[in-house]
Amino acid sequence: MEQVIFRDLGRVEYQKAWDYQSELHRAVVDRKLRNRDSAERPEPRRHYLLFCEHPPVYTLGKSGSLAHLLLSETELRQRGIAFHKINRGGDITYHGPGQVVGYPIFDLDGFFTDVHRYVRYLEEVIIRTLAEYGLHGQRIEGYTGVWLPAEGSRPHRKICAIGVHLSRWVTMHGFAFNVATDLEYFEHIVPCGIDEADKEVTSLSRELGRAIAPAEVQPALKRHFAELFSFAFQEDPENFA
Distances (CA, A) of 184 to 151, 192, 226, 233: 22, 15, 33, 36
Closest CA to 115 of 162, 51, 148: 162
What is the spatial distance between Cα 193 and Cα 162, in angstroms, rounded to a whole number? 13
Is there a catalytic annotation at residue 192?
yes
What is the spatial distance between Cα 117 and Cα 98, in angstroms, rounded to a whole number? 28
Which residues, at least 6 apart from 24, have a Cβ–Cβ distance to it below 8 Å?
Answer: 48, 50, 105
> Which position among 49, 172, 179, 192 bears the catalytic label?
192
Contact status, residue 17 vs residue 54, Cβ threshold 8 Å: yes
**Residues with a known catalytic role:** 192
